[in-house]
Amino acid sequence: MATPTAIALKIIDERHDLIIQKSSIHQPLQGRICIPGDKSISHRSLMLGALAEGETVIRGLLLGEDPRSTASCFRAMGAEISDLNIDEVRVKGIGLGNLQEPLDVLNVGNSGTTIRLMLGVLASHPGRFFAVTGDRSIRSRPMSRVVKPLQQMGAQIWGRQENSLAPLAVWGQALKPIHYHSPIASAQVKSCILLAGLMTDGKTTVTEPTLSRDHSERMLRSFGAELSVDPETHSVTVVGQARLKGQTVIVPGDISSAAFWLVAGSIVPGSELTIANVGVNPTRTGVLEALAQMGADITLENQREVAGEPVADLRVRHTQLKGCTIAGDLIPRLIDEIPILAVAATFATGITVIRDAEELRVKESDRISAMATQLNLLGASVTELPDGMEITGGKALTGTEVDSFTDHRIAMSLAIAALNAQGTTTIHRAEAAAISYPDFTETLQRAIGER
């Protein structure tokens, strides 16, 4: 009789069930893992490359579905972007202000970063008409957070439910500069306004309540924009009209993707993994701080700086985690890692409380509800809070059928939880992982020694 495979993919009408059988996984997770390129930096390198004068060369681009959406939108507006591959992508920029009116609706697929950042670019291109839409998830995610400040700058934008939902129509204008005090710490809001400010005469400033990821600021500077940052007040100012010059961008590995292996290595007995080339920008390393609070055994090795972003190799060894509280200013620095931290908390001793994370309710899915319901189906003890979760760790999990809600981070978090669940776990709609991690399943198979 053939030995059962521990990890299998079943494809039904293009929907993938990821099946994980704990009974046949003997191996701890071991080896060296190379993760895909950072999603936030990948989007920004394609966008700034398209808006710059001259050629931009991107190495290490994430080949996930989200950056592909960004590339296809900017191609539709005249940027020449070579075939996407990891080694080298060449972008022939058309210069700020020169985007062509697209002949069809721009479709951002599942990507919130694409639509929100791009709206700042479109709104500030006078005399051109743009229509933008995305998938079912995008059409339910709030856009007023960027539409309202852009309207304060004079933008003309229309959409469903008082211009708050895609599809959106944009009639590009010459905008006026503003100082926007954002009620939320959101890199998408900040970046959208800064991108609009590039084409706007004068100084455009965004102040946020706490610092969100700063990849836009770093990359805008390196492309030649005049930009100043006040770290005391969490304010960024860009001076328009700007001119951007094509650059070489080296995209580090995505710490949000590394987080799955940091937690897998921590919870599967006997594991030891090295995750190579991880971006450790301080605005993204909240997950390392949360896992340190939980007692995880993680070390940063070979720390270096690559093209303006700090990078390190992360080594993780299995250890018993303990519950902790994750809240406050830490939240924007680990917002995308909360689903996988909820998995870590499930295998920790004691109680973990996650608060101040109401933003999770308006991501690709309602990530609070998704993680609470699906982990509870597996036998965990998770209570939903309006702005987070309370998780009592240490309950034994048993495999069952769970759903990703077509959210990449939910699909991958549940796959890691399944590594420690008895029996068979089937994750429906696991194809969502391809949004940010196209070869997640193959990497998991390699880590357990199946390939």
Catalytic residues, by residue number, are 336
Q: ∠ CA 144-150-151 to the nearest 5 degrees?
A: 85
Quote the least distance from Cβ 369 to ligand SPQ, whole Å: 14
Among 21, 42, 69, 111, binds ligand SPQ (CB under 6 A): 111
Among 315, 333, 409, 428, binds ligand SPQ (CB under 6 A): 409
Quote the least distance from Cβ 27 to ligand SPQ, whole Å: 29
DSSP line for 354-420: E-S-GGGGGSSS-HHHHHHHHHHHTT-EEEEETTEEEEE--PPEE--EEE-TT-HHHHHHHHHHHTT
Q: ∠ CA 196-189-308 to the nearest 5 degrees?
A: 80
Give the separation between CA 65 and CA 82, rounded to whole angstroms.
16
Give the separation between CA 75 and CA 105, rounded to whole angstroms.
13
Q: Does 21 bind ligand SPQ (CB under 6 A)?
A: no
Give residues 158-197 in contact with ligand SPQ (rule: CB under 6 A).
186-188, 191
Contact residues for 326 (Cβ-Cβ < 8 A; gap 6+): 290, 293, 334, 338, 341, 352, 353, 354, 355, 357, 388
Give the separation between CA 138 and CA 32, rounded to whole angstroms.
35
Quote the least distance from Cβ 86 to ligand SPQ, whole Å: 19
User: Is 329:290 a contact under the CB 8 Å cutoff?
Assistant: no
Q: Does 70 bind ligand SPQ (CB under 6 A)?
A: no
Q: Quick one: 44 or 315, whose CB is closer to ligand SPQ?
A: 44
Q: Does 364 bind ligand SPQ (CB under 6 A)?
A: yes
Q: Does 443 bind ligand SPQ (CB under 6 A)?
A: no
Q: Does 205 bind ligand SPQ (CB under 6 A)?
A: no
Quote the least distance from Cβ 297 to ligand SPQ, whole Å: 26
User: Is 430:404 a contact under the CB 8 Å cutoff?
Assistant: yes
Q: How many residues bind ligand SPQ (CB under 6 A)?
A: 17
Quote the least distance from Cβ 28 to ligand SPQ, whole Å: 28
Give the separation between CA 271 and CA 265, rounded to whole angstroms.
5
Q: Quick one: 322 or 361, whose CB is closer to ligand SPQ?
A: 361
**Which amino acid, 362?**
V
Q: Quick one: 6 or 434, whose CB is closer to ligand SPQ?
A: 434
User: Is 117:188 a contact under the CB 8 Å cutoff?
Assistant: yes
Quote the least distance from Cβ 116 to ligand SPQ, whole Å: 7
Which of these segments, 83-91, 111-119, 385-393, 418-426, binds ligand SPQ (CB under 6 A)? 111-119
Q: Does 40 bind ligand SPQ (CB under 6 A)?
A: yes
Give the separation between CA 199 and CA 312, rounded to whole angstroms.
35
In the complex, residue closest to ligand SPQ by CB: 112
Q: Does 285 bind ligand SPQ (CB under 6 A)?
A: no
Q: Does 62 bind ligand SPQ (CB under 6 A)?
A: no
Give the separation between CA 159 and CA 139, rounded to whole angstroms.
10
Q: Does 214 bind ligand SPQ (CB under 6 A)?
A: no
Q: Quick one: 191 or 420, whose CB is closer to ligand SPQ?
A: 191
Among 284, 363, 428, 429, binds ligand SPQ (CB under 6 A): 363
Quote the least distance from Cβ 385 to ligand SPQ, whole Å: 19
Token digits for 314?
């992360």
Compute how many other C-beta atoms are within 10 angstroms of the C-beta atom of residue 161.
9
Binding residues vs ligand SPQ (CB under 6 A): 39-40, 111-113, 186-188, 191, 212-213, 335-336, 363-364, 409, 436
